[in-house]
Homo-oligomer: A and B are copies of this chain.
Amino acid sequence: MAEALTERLAHIVGAGHVSTDPDVLAARSVDHTGRYRGRACALVRPGTGDQVAAVLRACRDAGAYVTVQGGRTSLVAGTVPEHDDVLLSTERLTTIGDVDTVERRISVGAGVTLAAVQKTAAAAGLVFGVDLAARDSATVGGMASTNAGGLRTVRYGNMGEQVLGLDIALPDGSVVHRHSQVRRDNTGYDLTSLFVGAEGTLGVITALDLRLYPVPTHRATAVCGFADLDALVETGRRFRDLDGIAALELIDARAGRLAAEHLGVPVPVAGSWLLLIELAGDTDQTERLADALTDAQVCDEPAVGVDIGAQQRLWNVRESLAEVVGLFGPPLKFDVSLPLSAIGGFAESAGKLVAAHAPDAIPVLFGHIGEGNLHLNVLRCALDTEPALYAAMMALIADCGGNVSSEHGVGTRKRDYVAMSRTPADIAAMRAVKAALDPRGYLNPAVLFAQ
């Protein structure tokens, strides 16, 4: 990298926050699986939104590419630099404002972790609407950029539904402050929704106003076993629009067995497919849950948790999956959305595909059944079989009427598959928007669009 750019960056953020150390850059140029590796020329860690904007201006002027990094928990290699990029880390944007308990909102920097937001909300007697396994590392800026989902989407929606306002540094070095003290703000284009989910290609989110919710006073949790995936899906369908639905999680019994065997997490019911259901609200939910389960075609008596301890034990099965899928090294991951009616057929065909391509591998399916959002993890998949299996699986997903990317985003990993879920005119419109805000194409150049 040109000395001049390093000097200009140091002038903006302070010399201590610019690094060109090859070890530092190498460690940050690879994803968590170790399989996707790029190359970076510098790391810069701005401390304010204005510094982010100034960094962008400097990089643009110098003809450098920029890749934005939050908690680097992307599951689609979304922060791997491919163009000898400047790495722009949001890690110092960690301001946490006071909780507004009346309007139920909080303003935070983009580099604040999900766990920190959750903790701050809890201390004020409120709850944040998004929860996911990477909570200790994932930053809210990154989560907004990918429109992350998670365990509570069926109740509160994705990350986008939580974002009431944001500061965003644009590729031209300007800063848009889009905040509102009101819940509905309908003046002009919904730029907030445009930047949410744009995976950092249109600008760098530097701060966010996030919505918080009252903590439900009553909660009831159950894990049910099903012999048949279609029966589970049918139960999920009946539950997903029920008042007070708070979680609706599919768990593959194969994953449950692995959790029991390797992690000592007991699985409370028999069945090939498990469904974790939670209702929450301001009245007792236990009876409602029991009523709603009356007609479910379960193959074992549901395990019901009425107190917090019992509920946590049921959740442990679901929470253990993040560790289960890593038991044999980084798994091959698919994050897809499917119409509920296609889920049974997809699971069967996907199992056959895995058996054909990688006979020793273990496919494990789980996910958020309310949204038809499934995570297929292929454990113990030989590296050399991955590319063919990946391509075949993406084609199967498209055949099933599914979307090739769901809550994990596109990143670099799926950019060549976007055309399976989007028409040419749609992609052209997206490229036009990208070109309008980033005509030089220097911001997050490797993600979202086919190269």
A401 at the interface (CB under 8 A from B): yes
- CB closest chain-B residue, reference A147: B186
A410 near B213: Cβ-Cβ < 8 Å: no
B189 near A433: Cβ-Cβ < 8 Å: yes
Q: Residue-by-residue, is A269-282 near B (CB-CB < 8 Å gives 1, otherwise 0)? A: 00000000000011
CB within 8 Å for A190 and B186 given contacts A237-B102, A241-B213? no
Partner of A187 from the list B183, B188, B242, B418 (CB cut-off 8 Å) is B418
Cα A191 to Cα B425 in complex, Å, equals 12
CB within 8 Å for A410 and B242 given contacts A182-B372, A426-B177? no
A124 at the interface (CB under 8 A from B): no
Cα A193 to Cα B146 in complex, Å, equals 15
Q: Residue-by-residue, is A413-438 near B (CB-CB < 8 Å gives 1, otherwise 0)? A: 00000100111011111101101110
Cα A430 to Cα B402 in complex, Å, equals 32
- CB closest chain-B residue, reference A288: B283
Partner of A406 from the list B175, B186, B429 (CB cut-off 8 Å) is B186
A429 near B170: Cβ-Cβ < 8 Å: yes
Cα A415 to Cα B182 in complex, Å, equals 20
CB within 8 Å for A243 and B281 given contacts A193-B190, A430-B188? yes
Q: Residue-by-residue, is A162-202 near B (CB-CB < 8 Å gives 1, otherwise 0)? A: 00000000100011111011111111111101101110001
A176 near B437: Cβ-Cβ < 8 Å: no
Cα A235 to Cα B153 in complex, Å, equals 28
CB distance from A163 to the nearest CB of B (A): 12
B187 near A421: Cβ-Cβ < 8 Å: yes
Q: How many copies does the complex hold?
A: 2
Cα A19 to Cα B176 in complex, Å, equals 44
CB distance from A226 to the nearest CB of B (A): 19
Cα A184 to Cα B188 in complex, Å, equals 24
B188 near A194: Cβ-Cβ < 8 Å: no
A244 at the interface (CB under 8 A from B): yes
B104 near A187: Cβ-Cβ < 8 Å: no
A29 at the interface (CB under 8 A from B): no
What B residues does A67 contact at CB under 8 A?
none
What B residues does A177 contact at CB under 8 A?
423, 425-426
CB within 8 Å for A102 and B437 given contacts A188-B422, A243-B243, A405-B187? no
Partner of A338 from the list B182, B196, B425 (CB cut-off 8 Å) is B182
B337 near A183: Cβ-Cβ < 8 Å: yes
A74 at the interface (CB under 8 A from B): no
A143 at the interface (CB under 8 A from B): no
A82 at the interface (CB under 8 A from B): no
CB within 8 Å for A372 and B188 given contacts A104-B241, A174-B425, A213-B241? no
CB within 8 Å for A194 and B197 given contacts A184-B373, A282-B242? no
Q: Which of A153, A214, A432 counts the most B-chain CB atoms under 10 A from its CB?
A: A432
A437 near B432: Cβ-Cβ < 8 Å: yes
CB within 8 Å for A190 and B184 given contacts A282-B243, A429-B437, A436-B433? no
Q: Residue-by-residue, is A374-415 near B (CB-CB < 8 Å gives 1, otherwise 0)? A: 000000000000000000000000000111111101100000
A160 at the interface (CB under 8 A from B): yes
CB distance from A450 to the nearest CB of B (A): 11
Partner of A409 from the list B186, B407, B437 (CB cut-off 8 Å) is B186
CB within 8 Å for A188 and B158 given contacts A429-B437, A436-B435? no
What B residues does A213 contact at CB under 8 A?
241
Cα A180 to Cα B170 in complex, Å, equals 30
CB within 8 Å for A184 and B149 given contacts A190-B194, A190-B196? yes
- CB closest chain-B residue, reference A177: B423
A209 at the interface (CB under 8 A from B): no
A22 at the interface (CB under 8 A from B): no
Cα A379 to Cα B53 in complex, Å, equals 48
CB within 8 Å for A341 and B194 given contacts A184-B407, A243-B243, A430-B188? no
List 8 other contacts, CB 8 Å, given A180-B403, A180-B421, A194-B194.
A147-B186, A149-B186, A170-B429, A187-B421, A187-B422, A189-B202, A429-B437, A436-B436
